[in-house]
Amino acid sequence: MANNKPTKKESRMWGGRFSEDTDALVQAFNASVEVDKIMALEDIAGSIAHATMLAEQGILTNVEAEEIIAGLADIRADILAGVFEWKLELEDVHMNIERALTERIGPLGGKLHTARSRNDQVATDFRLWLKKESLEIINLLANLRAVFVSSAETHLGVIMPGYTHLQVAQPLLFSHHLLAYYEMFSRDQERLEDSLKRLNISPLGAGALAGTGFPINRKRSAELLGFDRPADNSLDAVSDRDFALEFLAAASISMMHLSRLSEELILWSSQEFGFISLPDSHTTGSSIMPQKKNPDVAELIRGKTGRVYGHLMALLTVMKALPLAYNKDMQEDKEGVIDSIRTLKISLRLSSDMLPKIKVNAERSKHAAGRAFSNATDLADYLVGKGLPFREAHEVVGRLVAYCLAQDKDLQDLTLGEMQSVLKLIEADVFEALKLETVVNARNSYGGTALEQVRIQIERAKEALDLQE
């Protein structure tokens, strides 16, 4: 499509008031067709709905509308077959298609643009396209949630250390940890579903900014395109891009969740943790170190999160000081959204593919969970059970931990005598209380890590996923 010749005045769609050609560099700078042709099918759908409505309103004759629609269908077939010729000098997807229509059906093609502008057209295309993509992402999120639930079932019973400050805190069921991600991705899905309410509104017929003098029916074109309703204010309809910002914000949050997951997979598969091993299919080797298996996929997901945040920031910045209504700055709205969608979709797919193939080293994670005083809170709780106020119990256990550190032991390694030398209250039943399984299952509060609670979480998640199908 490269073209370094100036655009001839007569080949432009808006040439009437101009006497000179457009500078070649300006043409290349101004054109958006390389980016917005991704919305070609939505552009055609919008035009077909518009022509249908114009005929119903008596603004076009039925015969005219039929010819226009047949011409558009012809163009659609060429685009789908990959033989449509996109021209840079025609600037964007809208004018490429309109010019092709006129070339195919003659001057009648020029009637299609009655009662609309590229300003309502581009907002319509973008919303339709983003709706389609959002629905795909919603499906990918639902799929990932299902993967977390089935992995949680597969690994039920595996115990791992839970961390705060990346210091061992309390033991968790591995499944409980997986289900925390299920919750995050459920909210991500909900966020996108909710955004559809605001996305699925039709700008078509808003015209350049002020509406039109033709007796159009905006409800009808909205309905033909599957929108819930027409936008209520024509100026807002062509000025606003908050639907794209909302998408980018939701995508950023979802990438942040994927990035945290990736980070944990990277940590857990390191030699120091060794809780899991990642599948060969989703790791790569080193060209120099023969022993290496690197978590590149997880690292790249973590890394690509940055660009999605960047796109959100970029569009917020593009929009921040724009006066109403359309400004050419707004042509910058699509690339970042397109890249964010590509990035989020592939990251969701790869995460869904990789997770079920992870091997869990239950021994090693259980061993790690049983160390570093992850049962210290439980010893304090035990003492509370024997009548000690929690603050005092906390202090006593702190002293026992200091003693253990000096001896290089864990709490459960102490003898009853050693414990009683610090506090007489402690009895032989303490060893049962300090066992990992006891510690995990003690946390049977709603949403806690006890096996019973985790089972309930799995059941609830399965019901939610079934309801969706």
Q: How far is CA 27 from CA 20, 38, 334, in A?
A: 13, 20, 19
- Candidate ranges 158-166, 194-202, 325-333, 346-354; the one touching ligand ARG (CB under 6 A): 325-333
326 binds ligand ARG (CB under 6 A): yes
Distance CA 114, CA 51 (A): 9
Select which of 19, 165, 281, 287 is catalytic.
165
Q: Is 282 among the catalytic positions?
A: no
Cβ at position 134, least distance to ligand ARG in Å: 19
Residue closer to ligand ARG by CB (options 269, 331) is 331
Place of tokens 């009853």: 416
- Start-end of H helices in 112-209: 118-154, 174-199
373 binds ligand ARG (CB under 6 A): no
Q: Which of 96, 151, 331, 351 binds ligand ARG (CB under 6 A)?
A: 331
- Nearest alpha-carbon partner for 199 in 294, 137, 131: 131
Residue partners of 33: CB distance under 8 A and separation at least 6: 1, 86, 87, 88, 90, 91, 92, 93, 96
Q: Is 286 among the catalytic positions?
A: yes
DSSP string, 200-229: SEE-TT-TTTT--SS---HHHHHHHTT-SE
Sketch the per residue contact string, 90 through 129, with ligand ARG: x for CB under 6 A, - otherwise: --x-------------------------xx--x-------
32 binds ligand ARG (CB under 6 A): yes
Strand partners, 164: 167
449 binds ligand ARG (CB under 6 A): no
Distance CA 258, CA 248 (A): 15
Residues in the interface with ligand ARG (CB under 6 A) total 10
Cβ at position 297, least distance to ligand ARG in Å: 34
Cβ at position 125, least distance to ligand ARG in Å: 9
Residue closer to ligand ARG by CB (options 154, 327) is 327
Select which of 117, 259, 281, 286 is catalytic.
286
Residue 438, CB half-sphere, CA atoms under 13 Å: how many? 15
243 binds ligand ARG (CB under 6 A): no
Residue partners of 144: CB distance under 8 A and separation at least 6: 185, 348, 351, 352
Which residues of the chain form contacts with ligand ARG (CB under 6 A)?
32, 36, 92, 118-119, 122, 326, 328, 330-331
Q: Which residues are catalytic?
A: 165, 286
